[in-house]
Amino acid sequence: MTSLRKKFIFISLFVGLVGCSKAPALKVYSLTVPSVGTAQSSSYRSKSIKVTYPQSLREQMSQKMNFSYSSSDRGTYQNSEWSNDMSRLLQGTFIEVLDSAKLFKVVLSDTTTLKENYRLESNVFAFEHRVRDTQSHAVISVQFTLINADTGKLAKSKRFSYSETTPSINAQGYAEATNVAMARLSKDLVAWLR
């Protein structure tokens, strides 16, 4: 009886472990920092800019990849996610893009204690995979506000919105289209700040 009991426990554990190992692997995606080139001229060349942590007005910004099938039907991918919190990915991308464009003497994150000449704030209105019938798009909408930190006054503000067709209706297609939209956003941001 003891031998039969041991066999039963062993088989139960084996089946349990094999069943657990069949879950699909988590796929992790990131934002590619686009190449924007160096600015030939800039009125900010001797100034510093601090890029603040992007804020979301609608959705929680996390590692989860958001999708929607209608304005009220939303969800997140279960087996796919971003490589970091989306606000951190966006902030890091904006810092790298502005640094490579050489519009400013130095580009700072909001964690530094250094005093900046300008501050770039961003509000995220949309950052999702939007699926409607047979249409599938990576949707990004971000409003940037450039503030003169010396005076505390608004220098300028603009909202950028993009809807990029995805090559497939899944997380991988969404990530690919998001990187295309981010390349467009980055070039437009540099041109606007120039």
* pLDDT digit string, tens, across residues 125-176: 999 999 998 899 999 999 999 999 999 999 999 999 999 999 999 999 999 9
Give helix 171-193 / helix 86-101 axis angle, nearest 10°: 40
Q: Where are the domains of the chain?
A: 42-193
**What pLDDT, on a 0 to 100 scale, did the predictor assign at position 14?**
59
Give residue 8's pLDDT band: very low, low, confident or very high (50, 70, 90).
low
Residues 6 or more apart whose Cβ sits within 8 Å of residue 86? 61, 62, 63, 124, 127
Dump pLDDT digits (tens) for 81-91.
Answer: 999 999 999 99
What's the rounded Cα separation, in Å, for the pair 18 and 89? 36
Q: Is the pTM here over 0.75, yes or no?
A: yes
Give residue 183's pLDDT band: very low, low, confident or very high (50, 70, 90).
very high
Specify the CATH number for 42-193; select among 3.40.190.10, 3.40.50.150, 3.30.460.10, 3.40.50.10610.
3.40.50.10610
Of 11-20, 58-67, 184-193, the range with the highest mean pLDDT is: 184-193
What's the rounded Cα separation, in Å, for the pair 128 and 161? 12
